[in-house]
Chains A and B, each alone.
Chain A
């Protein structure tokens, strides 16, 4: 009995380690694949986080320099949430990088993918202290 419990514990620890390693590698791939700006589209990628609340998700997106009325949120396809917002004053990083220094960023854009389909009719959106809070039900 004791040995079996130890074996389950070891397997459980191993799965946890593997999960952490996959998370770490995924984040590395994301960092390499996706800079947080797109000079061609003049877009910045905002920071965001997702919480799984059981039958729905809560998504928080940091949108500084944005007015509430200039945000567009919708479900794209079956399993993605697209957030677009107009930045009220164009952002330019005069001394930063090579391409970025000559770009005036005027919008945020973020596509957040989920592991399961979403119910597009269930979107509930609020905006507080420059943060967009979206609740969307799983389909």
Chain B
């Protein structure tokens, strides 16, 4: 069977908006964050991703059929969210297509939210959030928002490729990484990432409902976490525990 590697984004974005990317990754930090932004701000679906590299899935909600990877938005803010894990074979073509689309739609910049797994997460009450800036002026943005800089290390997964493509294409790019569990949904880490996002963009997304519902979110996202953990294993996510050779 031959699959096409094409990834098509169908729909229009909002010019001069920030694009927040929250895909399933370690602790589902990005996915939980993206879902919460969409719910908290009541964002409407504006575009979707079409690709034969996606699993053969449709999402049925209130008897209507939707694509599993969608963009939501309003003037000033858009969110990319996925209800299915990103398979390793989709990481590169999806990253390129999202950045192409973002540039074509004239977005202001891209902020990817992801988790950085730590083995002792159970001993940490409030996870730290770190930032990576794609350009010097964005480092200042992170500093002003009191987001610590992620100094050294590996980042593996869809967020990493999205960030790299953004930088290569000259799109202002920021990555937020919240300390999290690798293979358990982590709404607490997502809440901390959103508090950092609030400071960076001057938003007022209320994370209290997310923290209040944390246990139920953990119940509801078990299946997505299980499938995401399998995809992360194939991407060698545990690479993030290692020290890069060039800087030792």
Give me the interface of A with B, judged by CB distance under 8 Å. 23-24, 27, 31, 36, 44-47, 49, 60, 62, 64-65, 91, 93, 95, 128-131, 133
Contacts and interface: CB of A to CB of B under 8 A. Distances in A.
9 contacts: A24-B234, A31-B227, A36-B223, A45-B222, A47-B183, A62-B185, A64-B219, A95-B62, A129-B122
Top-5 shortest CB links A-B: A64-B215, A64-B218, A62-B184, A65-B215, A64-B219
A103 B185 CA distance: 23
Nearest to B187: A64
Contacts of A47: 183-184, 222, 225-226
Interface string B202-233: 00000000000011101110110111001001
Interface in B134-184: 183-184
A130 B183 contact: no
A91 B215 CA distance: 11
Contacts of A27: 230
Contacts of B222: 36, 44-47, 62
Contacts of B234: 24
Nearest to A88: B215
A45 B226 CA distance: 11
Nearest to B125: A129
Interface residues of B, number: 20
A79 B22 CA distance: 40
A124 B27 CA distance: 26
Contact of B122 (A23, A93, A128): A128
B215 A130 contact: yes
Contact of A130 (B218, B227, B230): B218
Given A36-B226, A47-B226, A62-B184, A93 B216 contact: no
Interface centre among B61, B185, B214, B230 (most CB of A within 10 A): B230
A45 B62 CA distance: 26
B72 to A, nearest CB: 19
A131 B233 CA distance: 22
A49 to B, nearest CB: 6
Contacts of B216: 64-65, 91
Contacts of B233: 23
